[in-house]
Chains A and B, each alone.
Chain A
Amino acid sequence: MTGPTADLSRRFDSLGRFTRVAAPHVKDVPKLISAAALVERARARLHLGASDEGDHTVVALAGATGVGKSSLFNALARMDLSPSGHLRPTTGHAHACVWNARGADPLLDWLGVAPQRRFVRESALDAEDEAPLRGLVLLDLPDVDSIATDNRIEADRLVGIVDLVIWVLDPQKYADQSVHDGYLRHMGALCDVTVVVFNQIDRLTPADADRCRADLARLVEADGLPGVPVIATSTVSGAGIEEIRVLLEKAVSGRSAAVARLEGELDQAVAQLGPLVSAEPLNEEGVSREAVPELADGFAAAVGVPGVAREAERTYRARAAVPGPPFRRGSPAPAEVAPADPAAIGATVRRLAARATAGLPAPWPDEVRAAASDELPQLPDELARATAAARGQVSQHAAGWRIARVLWWLALAAAIGGVAWLGWVLVRNSGDRVLPAVVAGAGVLSVVAVTVVAAIWRRLAARRYGRKVEARLREATLTVAREVVAPVRVVLRDYADAQAALTDASVG
């Protein structure tokens, strides 16, 4: 494959990637469907033109009924190949004339020209007369404006796939709406591979023919095809036929018509699809990096994480009280997390979607919003479940406080025992007074010390506990937030892919 062809097929691959990536998001857009069809067709055409032998240029003669397409076809082929007649409409099927038939059959199969309507030009008999047109496939198309609708369908199909179209008009029909509004007006992208022929000038005086040709040139320009050649011809006098042959020779020798046509269509498709992505690069990583913590914060607020943490701190303090019964029975502190607030969750998710879609063209914002709010109905429950589970995981280390309480009671017992002992010694007035006094003093001091230390420790531990609960809950909300952001990231990644693919496709 040569340079421009390789480049073109790379660009078509990119366009194909764009249609694949965008298809799930851009729903029911005919532009996308036609772009996909264009990619298919371009691949097939480029593949057919890949070998040197098969490198033909397909030129079609198209136009209304009775303008002399077949006569022109025969004149160009210098042979009577396609039947021309008085009755309308005449040609119902496309006829093909091939100069150098080697390798042309797959191409003609692809074009859908039946084998019995294929003619081969340029045999050994012609010597070198027809050599300049070697590699040309000339098609005579059915008409585009008669009541035979099948003709029109067949002509439309071939006009859509050939490399170069010669529009044939005549003095009667050159201003018909069916050709101008039906075809030429939509051929802007194919400016480089369109030729207009003003046929049957033998029916007019030379002066009239010139005026009409100029009028037709004006109409063609008004159709959005500036620079398209308008050639006046007559199959009777032979005027202009040579001019067309020269033009065809140029197209054949350059082997560029196919590429030029596909390029034109590709540019048009890219331009049409352009509004689906914006030019600005998308910072998808940035969006998700900032979005997840923000979303988690929102969820935390919706669940009331600060409140739960305060509550946990309070419960901790209540349960860690010294003094207290040394061994408290019953369940540990209830891992209570209130159900989440759906309104706040909805608002948070909506904020995320709004932030992620800033600057995206339609329909991507709706896609992102849909992806983000996919889980919305389940989110309150899911959040409540996740946070409750996280809350349950944080244990209170009640054992340490049990020991503290036992110590306190022991100290109290020691103090009371010491006092009782001291009293007993004083009543008995015998024995050592120092030891009981020391025991009582130590007991009292221990009670005070344990109480004070426990109080300080309780405060610190409760705060730490509250923080730990909060951290755990926030972690849980973070997990949920990541789940919510994941589908959004998928959409954003698709968007970025589509953007890159279209940029690739547009760079020639």
Chain B
Amino acid sequence: MNVRGDAGTPAEATRQWRAHPLASAPDEPPERSSGLRRQRWDLAVRADLDEALRQVRAGLEFATFPFDLPGAPSARQAAARLAAQLDDYLIPRLRRIDAPLLAVVGGSTGAGKSTLVNSLVQAPVSSAGVIRPTTRGPVLVCHPLDGVWFNERFLLSGLARSTRPGEHQLQVINAPALRPGLALLDAPDIDSVVAANRALAHELMAAADLWLFVTTAVRYADAVPWAVLRDARDRGIAVALVLDRVPLSARGEITADFARMLTDQRLGDAPLFVVTESTLDRHGLLDDLEVAPIKRWLDTVANSAAERHGVTRRTLLGAVGAAGRRIEDLAAAADQQVQATAHVVGAVREAYGHAMSEVEGRLRSGAMLRGEIYAQWQELVDSGELGLALRSLDRPRPGQTRITKMERPAPGRRFLAALHGALAALVSEVDIAATERIRAQWRSDPAGRELLAKHETLARPWPGFVDAAHDLVHHWHTWLRGQARSEAPRLRTATRSYQTAATVLLSTVAAVAPRPEEITATTRAPQMLRSVMENRAARDLGERARAEFLVRVGDLLALEVERHLSAISAVAVNPALAPTLRDGAARLGVARSAFATLDAA
């Protein structure tokens, strides 16, 4: 078979073909005028499909599925398999659609795959044996004329080529007994305990134009091979079946049973060959008569260009279609990743949003003036310090430099110290509550559990937070004092400093007090609170002080949010993955339909 460019091809078309990466010449020269148009069309369609496949491949480069969600391990595996299939088979096969066929001999361990391959090529090319699994490194057998194709890695480019057997490298052997145009690949098993074998077998079968699926009289009802066969059926791959090791006595019975099962599974039209159990000859080969039908069938496929085209196109179409479905599954898995991320991020934002509104609510409702603080407040009222401070604000005494003995100490020092402590405690408290909320939410979510397991410090308060909260209150107080001072003329006298201190005290009180209309109690301490709130200067500064405090708390909590979010973003879920994949799948679908019509033509 001539696989190089044909002399009969029109010069123009030849130039076009050679210029294009898909360059490869058809066997029969088409009719001149319509043939040329068809070639151009053919070329365009294949270029389209090629581009779509490469777009998908590029998208798969970033398909990581980092969160261990229920579907993630299988999605990761599926993505890796699809990428391997694109690299090993789909892209190269589309570019060299007329290269020799690759028939992969696959099946269970101990089914006799290697013996069958050896018998088909009439040489001990692949070692057969009793120790399972026997074949660990794949062996490719082809006609010497085809060797150039397979040695230059046009398919299965990821596997190293070798002339000696070895694990995870492809041994290429020339066998003159085979017809050119079709190569046999003896794959490892699909069901032994050696996981590497199973993975390699799937990789090889994904790169096959044709499957020669071997099972035995003992195995033909095994679940694992049937799962593989159903997959092949759904992907539209050309399959031929070999029922091996059939005892002569029950040959008819078993064959009929197997054929019935094949029909049940909608695989009835696949060619079925039966090999009876027999002793091997001294070279370890099956009797010629046993394998003759298989050999004849393989030769028929190899000899006819039309047959080979048909097989390749059918498998390509099936594989591209299956790839489209797999991409949709992968996109769904990618969506799940994005949703999981949104969920854990949402838990963080919600928890800290709640924390923020909690702080604001406590300040606005006057909940700070409770417990010990309230007792201090009462003392402040009873001692008369507060009344003095209020009066000094109402009637400023600009000229007077003397102050009374009562006024000398900074007013409400103990009250303020207690209130500051309570404010810092409040901030720490809402942080702890927020981390607990996050923890509870995350524990009910696989992505959250993964984050918790990975980071000990997440969903727990940051160790330095309590100090940070105290610093926050301290700095806020300093800011407030600065504000209070700037309200008054810049002249430092005892009176002024008393007035500043009084302003700070009253505006601090105003910042944490409820609105005056909410103060309903008629005893003295609440009444005094109301009079503080009715003082405009105190209330206005208090309002600003509260806003400033909330801003500062917001900044501090934002650090906590950031601490959690950076851990989440370190997981690196790619939000663009699903759209990219879907886009690629849509393009692939369009290109595939065009390719299918080409096939029909």
Name A residues whose Cβ lies closer than 8 Å to a Cβ of B.
64-67, 86-89, 145-149, 152, 170-178, 180-181, 204, 208, 211-212, 215, 219, 301-304, 306-308, 310-311, 314, 334, 336, 338-344, 346-347, 350, 366, 369
**Given A301-B372, A338-B371, A341-B422, A204 contacting B130 (CB threshold 8 A):** yes
A sample of 13 cross-chain residue pairs with beta-carbon separation below 8 angstroms, ordered by A number, consists of A65-B218, A65-B222, A86-B253, A86-B254, A87-B254, A173-B219, A175-B109, A176-B191, A177-B192, A208-B130, A339-B371, A341-B422, A346-B432
Q: A-B pairs with the 3 shortest C-beta distances?
A: A307-B375, A66-B218, A88-B221
Of B376-384, B499-507, B568-576, B579-587, the one touching chain A? B376-384
The answer to whether A306 touches B219 (Cβ under 8 A) is no
A336 to B254, CA, bound (A): 95
The answer to whether B100 has its CB under 8 Å from any CB of chain A is no
- Please give, as numbers and ranges, the residues of chain B lying within 8 Å of A314 by CB-CB distance: 382
The answer to whether A219 touches B193 (Cβ under 8 A) is yes
The answer to whether B110 has its CB under 8 Å from any CB of chain A is yes
- Please give, as numbers and ranges, the residues of chain B lying within 8 Å of A87 by CB-CB distance: 253-254, 257
The smallest C-beta distance from B379 to any residue of chain A, in angstroms, reads 7
The answer to whether B132 touches A175 (Cβ under 8 A) is yes
- Please give, as numbers and ranges, the residues of chain B lying within 8 Å of A67 by CB-CB distance: 218
Within 8 A of A (CB), among B214-257: 216-224, 226, 245, 247, 249-250, 253-254, 257
- Please give, as numbers and ranges, the residues of chain A lying within 8 Å of B245 by CB-CB distance: 172
The answer to whether A340 touches B222 (Cβ under 8 A) is no
- Please give, as numbers and ranges, the residues of chain A lying within 8 Å of B130 by CB-CB distance: 171, 204, 208, 211-212
A344 to B216, CA, bound (A): 75
The answer to whether A338 touches B370 (Cβ under 8 A) is yes
The answer to whether A145 touches B218 (Cβ under 8 A) is no
Q: A66-B218, A340-B371 are in contact. List 18 more A-B contacts (CB 8 A).
A: A87-B254, A88-B218, A88-B219, A88-B257, A147-B222, A147-B226, A172-B245, A175-B133, A176-B191, A178-B191, A215-B132, A302-B372, A307-B375, A307-B378, A310-B375, A340-B370, A343-B422, A343-B425
The smallest C-beta distance from B221 to any residue of chain A, in angstroms, reads 4
Partner of B369, one of A146, A308, A338, A350: A338
The answer to whether A66 touches B254 (Cβ under 8 A) is no
Partner of A175, one of B192, B253, B376, B432: B192
**Given A211-B131, A340-B370, A340-B371, A146 contacting B110 (CB threshold 8 A):** no
- Please give, as numbers and ranges, the residues of chain B lying within 8 Å of A64 by CB-CB distance: 222
A295 to B198, CA, bound (A): 62
A145 to B110, CA, bound (A): 15
Partner of A334, one of B131, B367, B428, B523: B523
The smallest C-beta distance from B264 to any residue of chain A, in angstroms, reads 10
- Please give, as numbers and ranges, the residues of chain B lying within 8 Å of A301 by CB-CB distance: 371-372
The smallest C-beta distance from B261 to any residue of chain A, in angstroms, reads 8
- Please give, as numbers and ranges, the residues of chain B lying within 8 Å of A310 by CB-CB distance: 375, 379
The answer to whether B375 touches A306 (Cβ under 8 A) is yes
The answer to whether A302 touches B371 (Cβ under 8 A) is yes
A318 to B378, CA, bound (A): 15
B222 to A, closest residue via Cβ:
A145
The answer to whether B523 touches A307 (Cβ under 8 A) is no
- Please give, as numbers and ranges, the residues of chain A lying within 8 Å of B254 by CB-CB distance: 86-87
A222 to B, closest residue via Cβ:
B193
- Please give, as numbers and ranges, the residues of chain B lying within 8 Å of A341 by CB-CB distance: 367-368, 370-373, 422
The answer to whether A336 touches B523 (Cβ under 8 A) is yes
The answer to whether B371 touches A344 (Cβ under 8 A) is yes
Within 8 A of A (CB), among B508-554: 523
The smallest C-beta distance from B140 to any residue of chain A, in angstroms, reads 24
The answer to whether B429 touches A343 (Cβ under 8 A) is yes
- Please give, as numbers and ranges, the residues of chain A lying within 8 Å of B343 by CB-CB distance: none
Contact with A along B418-457 (1 / 0, CB 8 A): 0000100110111011001000000100000000000000
Partner of B218, one of A172, A347, A350: A172
**Most chain A CB atoms below 10 A, which of B247, B254, B375:** B375
Name B residues whose Cβ lies closer than 8 Å to a Cβ of A.
108-111, 130-133, 191-194, 198, 216-224, 226, 245, 247, 249-250, 253-254, 257, 362, 367-376, 378-379, 382, 422, 425-426, 428-430, 432-433, 436, 443, 523
A284 to B236, CA, bound (A): 67
The answer to whether B222 touches A215 (Cβ under 8 A) is no
A366 to B444, CA, bound (A): 13
- Please give, as numbers and ranges, the residues of chain B lying within 8 Å of A181 by CB-CB distance: 193
The answer to whether A304 touches B422 (Cβ under 8 A) is no
The answer to whether B223 touches A307 (Cβ under 8 A) is no
The smallest C-beta distance from B557 to any residue of chain A, in angstroms, reads 15
A212 to B, closest residue via Cβ:
B130
The answer to whether A347 touches B257 (Cβ under 8 A) is no
A149 to B, closest residue via Cβ:
B223
- Please give, as numbers and ranges, the residues of chain B lying within 8 Å of A304 by CB-CB distance: 370-375
A497 to B261, CA, bound (A): 57
A342 to B426, CA, bound (A): 9
The smallest C-beta distance from A215 to any residue of chain B, in angstroms, reads 5
The answer to whether B375 touches A146 (Cβ under 8 A) is no
Partner of A148, one of B221, B247, B373, B436: B221
A385 to B298, CA, bound (A): 93
A179 to B, closest residue via Cβ:
B193
- Please give, as numbers and ranges, the residues of chain B lying within 8 Å of A338 by CB-CB distance: 369-371, 374-375
- Please give, as numbers and ranges, the residues of chain A lying within 8 Å of B198 by CB-CB distance: 177
A55 to B290, CA, bound (A): 55
The answer to whether B193 touches A344 (Cβ under 8 A) is no
B110 to A, closest residue via Cβ:
A172
- Please give, as numbers and ranges, the residues of chain B lying within 8 Å of A177 by CB-CB distance: 191-193, 198, 224
**Given A66-B217, A145-B224, A314-B382, A176 contacting B374 (CB threshold 8 A):** no
The answer to whether B220 touches A172 (Cβ under 8 A) is no
A306 to B425, CA, bound (A): 19
The smallest C-beta distance from A465 to any residue of chain B, in angstroms, reads 16
- Please give, as numbers and ranges, the residues of chain A lying within 8 Å of B216 by CB-CB distance: 172
- Please give, as numbers and ranges, the residues of chain B lying within 8 Å of A174 by CB-CB distance: 132
A172 to B134, CA, bound (A): 11
The answer to whether B375 touches A88 (Cβ under 8 A) is no
The answer to whether A347 touches B192 (Cβ under 8 A) is no
A334 to B375, CA, bound (A): 14
The answer to whether B220 touches A86 (Cβ under 8 A) is no
B250 to A, closest residue via Cβ:
A86
The smallest C-beta distance from B282 to any residue of chain A, in angstroms, reads 14
A145 to B379, CA, bound (A): 83
- Please give, as numbers and ranges, the residues of chain B lying within 8 Å of A145 by CB-CB distance: 222-224
The answer to whether A347 touches B375 (Cβ under 8 A) is no
- Please give, as numbers and ranges, the residues of chain B lying within 8 Å of A215 by CB-CB distance: 131-132
The answer to whether A344 touches B425 (Cβ under 8 A) is yes
The answer to whether A311 touches B378 (Cβ under 8 A) is yes
A25 to B493, CA, bound (A): 66
**Most chain A CB atoms below 10 A, which of B220, B367, B374, B428:** B374
- Please give, as numbers and ranges, the residues of chain B lying within 8 Å of A342 by CB-CB distance: 362, 367, 370
A170 to B132, CA, bound (A): 11
A214 to B, closest residue via Cβ:
B131
A211 to B111, CA, bound (A): 18
- Please give, as numbers and ranges, the residues of chain B lying within 8 Å of A204 by CB-CB distance: 130
The smallest C-beta distance from A163 to any residue of chain B, in angstroms, reads 27
- Please give, as numbers and ranges, the residues of chain A lying within 8 Å of B375 by CB-CB distance: 304, 306-308, 310-311, 338
- Please give, as numbers and ranges, the residues of chain A lying within 8 Å of B436 by CB-CB distance: 369
- Please give, as numbers and ranges, the residues of chain B lying within 8 Å of A346 by CB-CB distance: 429, 432-433
- Please give, as numbers and ranges, the residues of chain A lying within 8 Å of B109 by CB-CB distance: 172-173, 175-176
- Please give, as numbers and ranges, the residues of chain A lying within 8 Å of B374 by CB-CB distance: 304, 307, 338-339
The answer to whether B372 touches A307 (Cβ under 8 A) is yes
A306 to B374, CA, bound (A): 11
A304 to B375, CA, bound (A): 6
A208 to B428, CA, bound (A): 74
A253 to B215, CA, bound (A): 43
The answer to whether A350 touches B371 (Cβ under 8 A) is no
